Amino acid sequence: MCDHAVAGAGWLRMALPNETAAWTIPAAVVFWC
């Protein structure tokens, strides 16, 4: 579950141009897991 979420967050990090949002998403996923 978390591995899939982290993979999705990594994809979003690459897709989003905003670095702040790009790093907040994976951090939130790690915190949630």
Residues in the chain: 33
Is 20 in contact with 29 (CB distance < 8 Å)?
no
Q: Rounded to an integer, what distance in angstroms lies between the CA atom of residue 32 and that of residue 5? A: 10
Domain hosting 9: range is: 2-32
Instruction: Give the model's pLDDT for residue 33.
Output: 58
Instruction: Give the model's pLDDT for residue 26.
Output: 72
Instruction: Give the model's pLDDT for residue 32.
Output: 64
Instruction: Give the model's pLDDT for residue 30.
Output: 74
- Burial of residue 6 (number of CB atoms within 10 Å: 0-12, 13-18, 19+): middle
Indicate the number of domains in the chain: 1
| Interval 1-33: pLDDT, tens | 567 667 777 776 666 666 666 677 777 777 765
Q: Rounded to an integer, what distance in angstroms lies between the CA atom of residue 7 and that of residue 3? A: 6
> For residue 28, what is the DSSP state?
H
